[in-house]
Amino acid sequence: MATAWLDKVRLVYLPARTSHKTQALDRSVFSALKNYFRQGTKALASFTASAAVNKRRFLYCYTDASMLGMSARNIISGFRNTGIWPLDPSKVLEDPEAVLESQALPARPETPPPKPTSRHGPRC
């Protein structure tokens, strides 16, 4: 961490149990990609009702879906919605699910005090 600091690299730590809220691509790009891919394969299924989607058709559908789903707009939206860019920690810290999860953690048990030993040493 010292080397990063000296090289003017600022590290950002994400709060515990919030990674599902801070995955920018999961929250925008991949869901859009999945929806566009479903639409494309659904349209193909009507052409060949008895045949499965073959590799070539899969690639056509995936290419079209990725061009639509992985747009700059979707990527930027994901980072904005998670509060990663522009930086807005409140997007995660003020989320009710994140707060509930952190409050639900059990308290750390206390370490019991050591047992007294006899003056004569252990019995073996």
Q: What is the pLDDT of residue 77?
A: 95
Tell me the CA end-to-end span of the chain in Å, nearest whole number.
50
Element (H, E) at 57: helix 55-69
Q: What is the pLDDT of residue 102?
A: 47
* 118 belongs to a structural domain: no
Encoding tokens for residue 96? 């009710």
Half-sphere exposure of residue 13, counting CA atoms within 13 Å on the CB side?
3
Residues 6+ apart with CB under 8 A from 87: 12
* 23 belongs to a structural domain: yes
Give phi and psi for 19, each to the nearest 5.
-60, -30
* 107 belongs to a structural domain: no
* 113 belongs to a structural domain: no
* Rounded Cα distance, 106 and 98, in Å: 15
* Number of domains making up the chain: 1
Q: What is the pLDDT of residue 65?
A: 96
Q: List the pLDDT tens digit at each of the 124 positions of the chain.
A: 899 999 999 887 777 777 888 899 998 999 999 999 999 888 777 666 556 668 888 899 999 999 999 999 999 999 999 998 999 988 888 877 765 544 555 667 788 888 877 666 555 4
* 97 belongs to a structural domain: no
For the chain, helix (H) and strand (E) counts, in that order, are 8, 0
* 52 belongs to a structural domain: yes
Domain range for 75 is: 18-87
* 27 belongs to a structural domain: yes
Q: What is the pLDDT of residue 1?
A: 86
